[in-house]
């Protein structure tokens, strides 16, 4: 499975949050890895906060990108609790975790 590990900040809050997005496929024709995950991050945070709209500014910094074809990237589900935001996308089915809690 391919994954992107990233950090993000919300508005002017100095706290840094950590996220990981694991998925089956990503097109090589994209506008930037940060842009690819931004909508998923905002959607997950909205669901977690039970708000209708996430209005804060989000800044994302990519820490790593790993393509499963070339690098062994297996991780257990134990790592989910280590991240502030964790998303797994398999066959267009998203599982989003915020602070280790599955967001419905």
Give the pLDDT confidence score for residue 22 in this predicted structure: 84
Give the pLDDT confidence score for residue 71 in this predicted structure: 58
Give the pLDDT confidence score for residue 53 in this predicted structure: 60
Give the global pTM.
0.74
Cα gap 99→84, rounded to integer Å? 5
Q: Where do the domains of the chain lie? A: 9-20+62-81+88-104
Give the pLDDT confidence score for residue 97 in this predicted structure: 93
Cα gap 99→70, rounded to integer Å? 30
Would you report the helix, strand and coil content of the chain in percent, each value rounded to 5? Answer: 20, 40, 40
Cα dihedral 46→49→34→5 (10° resolution)? -130
Q: Which residues pair with 86 in a beta bridge?
A: 20, 97
Give the pLDDT confidence score for residue 74 in this predicted structure: 66
pLDDT tens for the chain, 104 residues long, are 788 899 999 888 899 999 999 887 777 777 888 888 888 898 888 888 775 566 678 888 888 877 766 656 667 788 898 999 999 888 778 899 999 989 87
Q: What are phi and psi of 2, to 5 degrees?
A: -80, 150
């Amino acid at each position: 499975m391919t994954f992107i590990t990233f950090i993000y900040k919300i508005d002017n809050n100095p706290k840094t949050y950590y996220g990981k997005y694991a998925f089956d496929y990503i097109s090589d024709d994209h506008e930037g890895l940060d842009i690819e995950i931004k909508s998923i991050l905002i959607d997950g945070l909205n669901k977690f906060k039970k708000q209708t709209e996430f209005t804060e500014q989000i800044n994302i910094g990519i820490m790593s990108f790993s393509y499963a074809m070339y690098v062994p990237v297996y991780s257990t589900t134990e790592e989910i609790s280590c991240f502030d935001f964790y998303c797994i996308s398999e066959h267009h089915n998203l599982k989003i975790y915020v602070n280790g809690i599955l967001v419905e």
